């Protein structure tokens, strides 16, 4: 590869790195929206995450096409090892950042999945409590009406 094509490869790697950083920021915004946001905010952030994911996939595809056409089946680390001396430091820096951001994104996505699952579990438990309260159960008669059992409260605790 010529120095110009190496520069194009380094630029493509940098673009992929930048798009992964933006995807990570969008995923962190999703975490915040899942914890503190409304349904509208979650939907807006979800759209942003999808757009950033598409942008990252395009940047990754461009870089992979360049890498495969020039080096075949070599790994990214092996390709970076063949970079000319003036670009080697920048290419390896981008490689380290890609790995670090990839790991951070995996952790954030796992946290988001856990938040979503916890929310769905809470909804299921809330529905179960409401169905139990609204079902026709005989209660203990008191002078002012039926006494609902203590476990059949419509007020749902955080444990539900």
CA distance 83 to 7: 9
CA distance 133 to 1: 72
Q: Report pLDDT for 149.
A: 60
- Domain range annotation of the chain: 3-136
CA distance 76 to 22: 21
Q: Report pLDDT for 128.
A: 79
Specify the CATH number of the domain 3-136: 1.20.58
What's the gap between Cα 92 and its chain centre?
26
Q: What is the pTM of this model?
A: 0.76
- Residue 131 CB coordination number (10 Å): 9
CA distance 106 to 100: 10
Q: Report pLDDT for 140.
A: 54
CA distance 135 to 20: 51
Residues in the chain, pLDDT under 70: 1-3, 134-160
């Amino acid at each position: 590869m010529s120095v110009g094509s190496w520069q194009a490869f380094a630029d493509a790697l940098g673009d992929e790195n930048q798009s992964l950083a933006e995807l990570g920021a969008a995923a962190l915004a999703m975490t915040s929206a899942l914890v503190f946001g409304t349904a509208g905010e979650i939907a807006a952030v979800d759209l942003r995450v999808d757009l950033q994911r598409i942008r990252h996939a395009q940047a990754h595809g461009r870089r992979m096409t360049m890498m495969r056409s020039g080096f075949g089946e070599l790994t990214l680390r092996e390709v970076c090892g063949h970079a000319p001396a003036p670009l080697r430091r920048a290419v390896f820096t981008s490689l380290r950042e890609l790995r670090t951001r990839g790991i951070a994104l995996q952790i954030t996505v796992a946290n988001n999945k856990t938040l979503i699952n916890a929310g769905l579990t809470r909804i299921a438990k809330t529905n179960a409590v409401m169905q139990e309260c609204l079902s026709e159960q005989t209660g203990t008669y008191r002078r002012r009406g039926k006494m609902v059992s203590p476990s059949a409260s419509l007020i749902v605790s955080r444990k539900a």
